[in-house]
Amino acid sequence: MPDLHHPAAWRLALPHSAAAVPIARALIRTVLADIEGEATSADRDTAELLTAELVGNAVEHTVGDGPIELVIELLPAGCQVEVHDRDPVPPGDLVRPPPAGVPDPWQEHGRGLLLIRTLSSDYGHRPTEHGKAIWFTLPPAPSG
């Protein structure tokens, strides 16, 4: 029987503006804080960082003023976060790492998808009816 106090998924339409990032951070933080101590709870700091990266990328790299949708789903083994936008073009750096070499330490952009590839247990993108969804999965946080 499903737990009525903890829904399995949350969906939220976010504005296509910089205001979407703090809203998304607050939602993932709240969702994971509400289930703290449960087997499905993922690392909140990592979830918040990666969610902010995906939402920030959707705002910065897609055109239009249509909403961005944030979907958080609790899984038996952690959580999955998806960000839907209206641009069908896949994020190249998510599936294809940038060329090898020493990154410029002064560069202000370009690390978000690297963080997602490095810190998540799984990630990807898929086409949707109105654009694409980019997602990542986090395992449960270690207890202790």
Q: Report DSSP state, residue 4.
A: T
CB-based burial label for 142 (10 Å; 0-12, 13-18, 19+): exposed
For domain 9-97+108-138, give the CATH number: 3.30.565.10
CB-based burial label for 118 (10 Å; 0-12, 13-18, 19+): exposed
Give dist(CA 88, CA 22) in Å, integer.
25
Report the chain's C-alpha Rg in angstroms: 15
Give me the tens of pLDDT residue by residue for the chain, a chain 144 residues long. 344 455 588 999 999 999 999 999 999 999 888 765 554 456 889 999 999 999 999 999 888 888 999 999 988 878 999 999 999 988 866 655 555 565 555 555 556 788 898 899 999 999 999 999 999 999 877 765
